[in-house]
Amino acid sequence: MTSENRKNYVCVSCGNPVRELIKKYSNTVKPTHCDKCNQITDKYIEVEEFIILIDALLLVSAAFRHMICNGNFKLYWKISLVVLLLESFALCRQKRGDESNTALHEKGFYMCTLQNIGEYLLITLLLLFITALLNMRQLVKIGLASVTLIILKVVAISNFSKFFLLPILVWRSNTTDFGRKLHYIKIKYCD
């Protein structure tokens, strides 16, 4: 395998670049250790994705490093879609007010979904632009497609905290108007 085809990994403990996450011996596979911090380079390679997701929701930086740099991102795209739909539903319901007797209009939900997709794309483009301004040399070295993929992963992962919209949707009738607005503000602006 040439150096151009080799995937770049990082140590999830310290962020140091490493060549490989595991060493294959005749009958066994052992995780490698980081040269900088002497920790296992990626303790999440043998962990279920659900546990990694819980660690990410608990804001464990090693889980974020694994998901962005070392891990397979297929499950997280699906979770990002669920979060997008959940956020769109919450936004649509918030715009509708407390009219619990009227049915949710599909058009309003679709418009909220398009609004959220537009926000995600705008954030991605803004981050790409800022990255290009701050470190053009690194952008050229890694490649625009790779940096864009990393930024998309970061935007998707940063929205996982919107799972916390679920309690306010479920127990909406058991809270005050002030409590509901405060919860929305915390979720929207604290992720």
What sign for the dihedral angle of Cα 54, 56, 94, 179?
A: positive
Beta bridge partners of 40: 33
pLDDT at 101: 40
Place of tokens 């649509």: 92
4: tokens are 């151009």
Q: Are residues 58 and 78 in the same domain?
A: no
Ranked by mean pLDDT, the top range of 64-78, 85-99, 123-137 is: 123-137
Domain boundary among the residues 70, 93, 115 is at 70
Number of domains in the chain: 2
User: Alpha-carbon distance 54 to 32, whole Å?
Assistant: 24
- Is residue 112 within 8 A of residue 91, CB to CB? The reply is yes
Q: Are residues 86 and 64 in the same domain?
A: no
User: Alpha-carbon distance 181 to 177, whole Å?
Assistant: 6
Residue 4 lies in a domain: no
Domain boundary among the residues 29, 55, 70 is at 70
User: Alpha-carbon distance 152 to 112, whole Å?
Assistant: 20
Residue 3 lies in a domain: no
Expressed as residue numbers, the domain containing 121 is 74-189
Q: Are residues 66 and 78 in the same domain?
A: no
Place of tokens 């040269």: 35
Q: Are residues 16 and 82 in the same domain?
A: no
Indicate the pLDDT class of residue 97, thresholds 50, 70 and 90: low
- Residue 172: pLDDT over 70: no
List helix spans (H) across the chain: 49-57, 61-65, 74-96, 106-134, 136-142, 144-158, 165-170, 177-189
As a whole number of angstroms, the longest Cα–Cα distance in the chain is 66
Q: Are residues 44 and 134 in the same domain?
A: no
pTM given for the model: 0.68
Q: Are residues 59 and 89 in the same domain?
A: no
Q: Are residues 39 and 119 in the same domain?
A: no
